[in-house]
Structure 1
Amino acid sequence: MPRVPPARAGLVREVSPRRPFGAVHGGTKARESTAAEFRPGPPRSLPRSSIERQRRPDMPRFKGYSCLVAAALTAIALPAAAQEILRVPYITDIGSFDPDNAFEVGALSAINNVYEGLVEYAPGTTDIVGLLAEDFSVSDDGLTYTFDIVDGATFHDGTPVNAQAVLTALDRRGSDKMMLNYFLWNVTSITAPDDDTVVITMGMPQPSFLDTLASPWGPKIISAKAIADHGDDPDWFIEHAVGTGPFKLTTFDRGSEYVLTKFDDYYGEKPFFDTIELPVVPDIGQQILQLRAGDIDAIPVGYPYAQLAALPPGLDIYSAPAMALVQAFVKPGSVLEDPEIRKAVLTAIAPDTWIGDAFADYATPALSLYQAAMLTPEQPVAFPADMDAAKAIIEAHGGLSLTLGYGAGNTDNVGQAADLMAANLAAIGVDVQILTLPAGAVYGLKDDLDSAPDLLITRSSPDAAHPDTQASVFYTTGAVLNLLGASLPEADDIVGQAFSVADKAEAAKLYEQAGHLWFDAGMYIPLADIEEVVVHAAGLTDIGTRPVFPPGNIDFGTVRWAE
């Protein structure tokens, strides 16, 4: 199977840029389960039958974020019923609005509401539906994809969306100058037999291709006029945008605020809000103060888990499936290669003993090396549970010293998870040292294993909803985000076989089989599946997050105030 040259850096929760793709091959595949396609239901909440999680009448009021927040415990300013401006803060600044040449994470909600692709994931699911392509089909041999372009769509500059415009945009994406050109690595030709039809031909069958197109980082259709007018200026698209989405980019004020304005000529369903204001507020404490004062309408990511059970009146919680997996990479050559010692360590770090303390009700023990919204395993991984036996093993070996590490850029309590696991390990007699690694340092560890921790705790998210995006990026030999350089050729072979299997259930069985081989060999340890959590003003509904998007990316085209 051909390899795709590395092209990017990716999301592991420590990351700033996204990753080069380049493991065994490129591409992203449609999510699969073992017997039938897993389709997550509506966003989960408390009570579980409700989409929006409401504060119970007996729930205590919030007692204070800190002394800074305590002074702000005043009445919540509730949004007006006819509010037409949505205010959502970004905790990190936007680097670039160029959908072909940047690895944005927190700003994907803005980019994907200004630009559109041929297909997308439907809100709340991993189902692929048409977008600028109102219909699409795949040939029996898996080599030809045909897209029927939607009628009546125009770009924000007034030019029409037709097949030639799509070709121009895809040609830009495939250019050697674009960071994200690897999404089209297997494409051999793109043609337009008429104004309404685009045909894409593949070099080899790639059942994942529609997921590649639906990915939040997948190819977007940029105005051909804008490309012609500004194609020689690589910086223009960083701060300007001409797409087809329900919103236009009208303000790009780096480090301060970004503003989206409703596109009146949008061909699809019109959004509820006229304006989306996106101020940069890097301090979560300040975001909490502003939400309580009514200055913003939601905190999309990062609200402290410990405070979610006691929100003040006027605030609600939206939670939904997400593809955020907390896992441990095991250093090759460490003492954990001893099966008996590894069994004792697995006993102590079993996720069900600490997951509630780290993530409240918004995480579940991982079932496999693949995110739960990606693959439902026939045989979930199992952790031993006899702590007395684990303690005896450590004593028999004369004690044990381990290092646990995580990146300084990690968020959402991954560091606390490491602390809780360390406490459990200490209970069986393991001497644990915790290392907080400098931002970005995790990417150089496989070339300097002497400085690597025995267990590297990370939070990972894939490009798309297919197991291959997890396996071939994080686990296979030489994979770009195989952070400690582990290698198991027999598992690689199974992943290579699964890549071209069109039957979703059969492919899922192969990916699960490879996952068990890696887990049983002590190379990777799945720990927790983390949910999407958005804290918002009461009455905000249809938030529209998608599992494949990094947490916090609200769909501005669907969100609205309840009537």
Structure 2
Amino acid sequence: MRTTRTRLATALIAALAVGALTTACAGGSATAPTTAARDETVIIGTGATPQTLDPVLASDVQTDFTVGGAYDKLIDYDEDGAIVPMLATEWAYNADATAVTLTLRDDATFHSGNPVTAADVVYTLDRIKALGVGVASFLSSYASSTAVDDTTVEIALSGTNTTFVGALSKVYVLDSALVSEHEGDDHAQAWLATNDAGSGPYVITDYTANQQATLERYEDSWRFDEARPASLVYRYITESSTLRDELKSGGVDVATGIVGTDLDALASTDGLEALQLPSPLQLFVMMNTQEGITADPRVREAIKLAYDYEGHIASILSGRGSVASGLVAPTVACRVDAGPTEQDVDEAKALLDEAGAVGATVTMAYQAQIPEHQKAATLLQSNLKDIGLTLELQTVTYPEYVAMIESPETTPDLGLLWDFPYYPEIGPMLFRVYDSQFIGQTNYALYSNPEVDALLEEGISTVDPDAACDLFTQAQEQILADDVSVNVSNPVTTIMLRDGVGGISYSPTYQLFDPTMLVVTE
């Protein structure tokens, strides 16, 4: 790819010229001045609008994508799914995997200048446990931790868990000295919603909710790389057509969340490259298995058979993806491939009639700001009408949906959402989404099956990976047989890049891409 910094500088003129004109149609987004020169600034256009910058909610794609550059993890995974060191340079389980000892690097500092120490790791883990939200669902076996010295942390688990170290790839370590000054009575949630307490390669210097965030390169980062942009600007733009136009005009340099028709329109645009990455994402319709007519498995199967899967891939994804064939995407090891579901309207009608549910109304919560979700909701509404069900749609944010499923009485009949393993191990995701102990938290379908619970809990505590995979396989087969969800699609992640920007590759712990990979090229 031929790239020049001059091209990026030229793009700034176009961005400034159209910025005032596109603010309204861009969902309130605008291009703000940055302290870095434009030729070292990369502007990211995305519909992944965070509700908070608190890294405890890095379980949400929207939060994770913005804060990922400002914080450091303890460990991470490479593109082949192997664990690699970050703040933690070494780790070891005890004999029965009921405890883990971490050794930390000694040259990392927070943006405040404070050194990163074992005490900060303990503070971060204890805060996650106390709040019990977001990434806490990955750390359910965390009991306590102790700072042995500045670079050694001993973590006690509530039982054997051989996948615990992997979960640390979703833990962003906080500056405990800074955060404790703002703790209040909410563990500093209000303060961290708009402030930075990290040690990552970037510092969050400006943030306007629902509009944009500016991050400046942290020169004292232990992983400093001068090839990275000096400044990242996130513009939160929910309309795909606006993202398309901003790419054309130079208002953004990188864009995610563009729908297929707009990607097609950009295909012949000079100076743009479409980068397609594997994705861990899967689109589901989770069905309430405890309340309403969806408690009847015949109704759940009818809804599953009603959907036009091939139409979804062709018209909504414009061929950029495939029909889901299991509970997780094909990028995940130890998955059961049950084959794609095929639409069968006649069978769906017969099942609905047998259940006495013809003419009933069901509700579905969905995130209208995500283009694939919006179009899938409308398609499902039409498909269910064809079999005799009325679908009432309710737009929500992801945090609002999580609040709804805290009680069976407030859980909608259906919930349309993306889900995925947050790191490349299938067991923790199955455990989080389908074990009954997480009803009211991350078990979206309120699903309860004692046999599945036993399989998942034994799998999580099994040291032999082959034996664990066998247990997870049995659990998947039972969950699929219970028709807990409509397994819709596995979209491909398409990122549009302007000439002068590169460096991105597949990273299995980021559902979009790792922003610290971005480089400004010559």
TM-score (norm 2): 0.77
AA partner of residue 111 (structure 1)? V
Size of the alignment, in residue pairs?
474
Deviation at 1:403, TM superposition (A): 5.4
DSSP-derived class of the 1:249 partner: strand
Higher mean C-alpha displacement, 505-514 vs 233-242: 233-242
Correspondence list, 1:73-472, <5 A = 83-91=39-47, 93-100=49-56, 105-122=61-78, 124=79, 126-175=81-130, 184-215=139-170, 218=171, 220-227=172-179, 229-231=181-183, 234=188, 235-270=190-225, 271-301=227-257, 303-311=258-266, 312-330=269-287, 332=289, 334=293, 337=296, 348-349=306-307, 351-352=309-310, 354-381=312-339, 383=341, 401=359, 406-410=364-368, 411-420=370-379, 430-439=387-396, 440=400, 444=404, 447-448=408-409, 453=413, 456-472=415-431
Partners of 2:120 and 2:175 within 8 A in 1: yes
Q: CA deviation at 1:85?
A: 0.7
The yes-or-no answer on 1:533 pairing with 2:521 is no
The Cα of 1:491 is off from its aligned counterpart by 2.1
Aligned residues of 1:350 and 1:383 also touching (Cα < 8 A):
no
Partner of 1:477: 436
Deviation at 1:296, TM superposition (A): 1.4
Q: Please say if residues 367 and 377 of structure 1, whose CA atoms lie closer than 8 Å, have aligned partners that are also in contact.
A: no
CA distance in 2, matches of 1:228, 1:135: 27
Paired position in structure 2 for 1:546: 507
Contact 1:90 1:107 in 2 (8 A): no
Q: Distance in 2 between matches of 1:174 and 1:331?
A: 27
Deviates more, 1:285-294 or 1:94-103: 94-103
User: Are the aligned partners of 1:117 and 1:214 in contact in 2 as well (CA < 8 Å)?
Assistant: yes
- Give 3-state SS (helix, strand or coil) of 1:89's partner: strand
CA drift of 1:418 comes to: 4.6
CA contact (8 A) 1:329 1:525 kept: yes
Conserved? CA contact 1:322–1:549, under 8 Å = no
| CA offset digits 1:263-315 (Å, max 9, x no partner) | 112222415211112234454433332221112111222x1222222312222
Maintained 8 Å contact 2:280/2:332: yes
Q: Is the 8 A contact 1:90 1:106 kept in 2?
A: no
Deviation at 1:345, TM superposition (A): 6.2
SS of the residue corresponding to residue 234 of structure 2 reads: strand
Please give the per-residue CA displacement for 1:42-66, whole angstroms capped at 9, x wherever unaligned.
xxxxxxxxxxxxxxxxxxxxxxxxx
Pairwise CA distance, 1:172: 4.3
Letter in 1 for 2:496: V
The 8 Å contact of residues 110 and 199 in structure 2, kept in 1 or not, is answered as yes
Between the aligned partners of 2:443 and 2:234, the Cα distance in structure 1 is: 34
Inter-partner Cα distance in structure 1 for 2:157 and 2:64? 27
Cα separation, 2, equivalents of 1:526 and 1:158: 47
**Distance in 2 separating the partners of 1:96 and 1:184:** 21
Distance 2:294 2:104 in 1: 57
Tell me which protein shows more helix as a share of its residues: 2
Please, which moves more after superposition, 271-280 or 93-102?
A: 93-102
- Distance, in Å, in 1 between the alignment partners of 2:87 and 2:395 is 42
Shift of 1:255: 4.8
Contact 2:320 2:491 in 1 (8 A): yes
Residues of 1 paired with 2:294 and 2:46: CA distance? 42
Deviations 1:52-102 (A, max 9, x none): xxxxxxxxxxxxxxxx99xxxxxxxxxxx9931111135465443332478
SS at 1:152 equivalent? coil
Counterpart for residue 5 of structure 2:
none
Aligned-partner Cα distance in 1 for 2:451–2:382: 35
Match of 1:261, SS state, is strand
Between the aligned partners of 2:100 and 2:297, the Cα distance in structure 1 is 49
Structure 2 counterpart of 1:485, which letter? L
- Structure with the bigger RCO (C-alpha within 8 Å, sep 6+) is 1
Q: What is the rounded CA distance, in whole Å, between the counterparts of 2:251 and 2:446 in structure 1?
A: 47
Deviation at 1:103, TM superposition (A): 6.5
Structure 2: how far apart are the matches of 1:188 and 1:392? Answer: 50
Kindly state the Cα deviation for residue 175 of structure 1 after the two structures are TM-superposed.
4.2
SS at match of 2:515: coil
CA distance in 2, matches of 1:398, 1:99: 46
Distance 1:435 1:556 in 2: 37
Rate the CA distance shift 1:260–1:343 in 2: closer, same or farther, 3 A. Answer: closer
Q: Note closer, same or farther for the CA distance 1:443–1:355 as it changes in structure 2 (3 Å cut).
A: farther
Q: How far apart are 1:136 and its partner, in Å? A: 2.0
Task: Give me the whole-angstrom Cα distance separating, in 2, the residues matched to 1:452 and 1:110.
Answer: 29
Secondary structure at the aligned position of 1:374 is classed as coil
Deviation at 1:184, TM superposition (A): 4.8
Change (3 A) 1:561 1:204: same
Say which SS state the counterpart of residue 434 (structure 1) adopts: strand
What per-residue deviation string (whole Å, max 9, x for no partner) do you get for residues 97-145 of structure 1?
33247865324233221111211233x4543211011222223321232
Distance in 1, matches of 2:364 and 2:215, equals 36
Q: Secondary structure at the match of 1:199?
A: strand
Counterpart AA for 1:137 = A
Deviations 1:156-215 (A, max 9, x none): 233333334434444444445987556554334423444432222223111221122102
Distance 1:160 1:402, change over 3 A: same
Q: Distance in 1 between matches of 2:140 and 2:165?
A: 13
> What secondary structure, in the 3-state scheme, does the structure 1 residue paired with 2:375 have?
helix
Please give the root-mean-square deviation of Cα atoms over the aligned residues, in Å: 3.9
Q: Hey, what's the Cα distance between the residues in 1 that align with 2:412 and 2:211?
A: 37
Structure 2 CA distance, aligned partners of 1:343 and 1:232?
A: 48
